[in-house]
Amino acid sequence: MIVNKAYKFRLEPNKTQTERLNKSVGSIRFVYNYFLKLNKEKYEKEKQFIFNNEMIKKLPSLKEEYPFLKEVFSQSLQTAVRNLSNAFTRCFKGLAQFPQFKKKGKHDSFTCPQKFRILQEKNKIFIPKVGEVKYRNSQEITGEVKSITISKKNYKWFVSVLTEQEITLPEKTFNNPVGIDVGLKSFAVLSNGDEIENPRFYRKLENKLKKESRKLSSKIKFSKNWIKQKIKLAKLQEYIANCRRDFLDKVSTKIVNNHDVICIEDLNVKGMIKNRHLSKSISDVGWGMFTNMLKYKSFFKNKSLIEVERFYPSSKTCSKCGSLKLMPLHLRTYVCENCNSEIDRDYNASLNILNRGLILFVP
């Protein structure tokens, strides 16, 4: 089977290379926003849009008008135009919202589809118009390299190397199925009785975040002290995100390694976050990231992942007799009036998710 796999590394550019990288992400943002504005104006006048090839043809004249664009790799500019064209296509197909203008400091990145070189023996990557940049070579890159994407986050630079490689999936087995009920009191309760504690990384450091945010707001914007404080706040936010990702990575790996059939809920996380009383806690627990990790790890391990339909009443159903009753959030024990059984609310839900998942399961 042919699959795409990406390897992400931390870059360590020098001062000159950092300036060139900043010019590159700034120029990519400028070109993207320029053609987005051009399309909006054209639609208001003529009710039409211009797409990939037409926009690319306008790039040479745009470089003459704005000479700083000549300092950036031309194929990176073309890739930015293609990304905008793809965003329009996805929008018209109803798969995404209408493209928005890119903002400085948010999703700063650019892609080099050609002319780059990965020098693993030197721990360097040659980036067109930037030069040979050191990177932290933490793992060997296998497969055919297709492109590299350079990104900036919290004043740090990263490179993502996209490869195409052939893999052989292990033989599929169906042992030890499990149902998973995620929650806020506990991160997850499994149908085998295991309970995973919710670490609450954000909540534990929320007061410190507020304190650092207040310090930032009291300083003059873009002053040296403001920049120092912004970096300090960004590092704290990055620490929380890294802790959460590490926790979810370890939990998902353990579940996929120990279970061949995994049943989970299809949660509407975006809709649930709109609840202002629970939005912080839901964002902190990372259900969406956890589900994504289970999906790609199950794929590479050739395990079966079943998503139970979104509106299945797993918390309201008795796992023993199947009767239904209302279960407000404050009730932590399910007491069935039909069969007189008493069971923990979350454990009962995990059993129902497992039973429903096995019914939906098609080997």
Catalytic residues: 181, 265, 346
Write the DSSP assignment of 43-102 as a string of letters: HHHHS----HHHHHHTHHHHHHHSGGGGGS-HHHHHHHHHHHHHHHHHHHTTSSPPP---
DSSP class of 139: S
* 131-135 sheet: strands from edge to edge: 108-112, 144-153, 156-166, 2-12, 131-135, 124-127, 117-119
Residues 6+ apart with CB under 8 A from 31: 59, 62, 69, 77, 80, 81
Cβ neighbours around 220 below 10 Å, total? 8
As a whole number of angstroms, the distance between CA 58 and CA 29 comes to 16
Instruction: Decide: residue 321, CB within 10 A, 0-12 exposed, 13-18 middle, 19+ buried.
Output: exposed
